[in-house]
Structure 1
Amino acid sequence: MESVSVPTDAELRVLAQAVAEETLRQRLMLVTAESCSGGWIAKTLTDLPGSSAWFDAGVVTYSYEAKQALLGVDPRTLEHSGAASEETALEMVSGALARFGAGVAVAVTGIAGPSGGTPGKPVGTVWIAWKRRGGYAHAQLFHFDGDREAVRRRTVAAALAGLRKTLTE
């Protein structure tokens, strides 16, 4: 389990500001595709004044049907791998870029709890994927500990840190 401290609102804001500055510097628009974080990444980013200059859209898709309709996730991917999977995260991030005019995207899917976990995918299992337009998507598996709030806060922090890395690589 990732037992890093639970990020504060101030720490999330610092991460969001770094993403904002780099996105703006590169003249890119950003899109989020979220499941277990429930739009928290988009909220954290758009809490920043002037975010309309670099934030394009945020999509929250909890159900399989929404993931398929709004992000183009293949039903077979969901059937064979499940929502909390690398394959689904990669299809979500690619679908977000395909549907919006953004230059960079992040997607998150996982099990925030307190229920929904299985022995193979316990509560705290989160897949995060990042992609730049014209580039390759990459995803990372996290196992966050704590209650629902802690898992979601850690997810937002990891998503923003990965966005910053994606933008500066």
Structure 2
Amino acid sequence: MITKRIKKELLLAVIFFYILGSISIVYANGSLGVVLVDDISGPYKVEVKSYAQKLPQGTAHFSIYVFDTTKNENLENLNVTYTAISPSGKSLEPFIGYIEDPIPSLVIQDVNISYDSDILLDEVGIWKLKIDIDGPLGKTTVNTQVEIVSMIINWGLISGILTIILLVLPMFIIWIRSINKGG
């Protein structure tokens, strides 16, 4: 009886730590791993990232990494301005890129500085992004475009949450029953 209970608790602990170990740092809009632009413009190597090639309607997050082409160093103290033009031709007010400071306790390695912006892209279709960079090496402009699609249901996220619930719920029920039995 005691051996069976220890095995059950050990199994629950293994499942719990497996779930806990597979959790990673998450951005509000997802991972910023999709590179929209990776190009040399003037004296700068510019990389524009977002969380998907096709973005859902709403607020989109963009990160721009700017490097010196001669030294391949990430540059700071730049003026980075985003201008978005909707599919219907409406130009939004320019957005100034801000530097997003990483949380020191979560930084494991050196992090490149990025100039970020959250832009409300509320119209479905192809948006044009004009990014003006002004720094010690001069001025340049990077043009790109991004496709905005109507809101979609993220079935992967929903199934992941349901999986966690279905794994945690039985562990919780077993734990409650073991407490009620007095041990």
| TM-score, length-scaled by structure 2 | 0.27
Greater fraction helix: 1
Q: Which has the higher contact order (CA 8 A, sep 6+)?
A: 1
| TM-score, length-scaled by structure 1 | 0.29
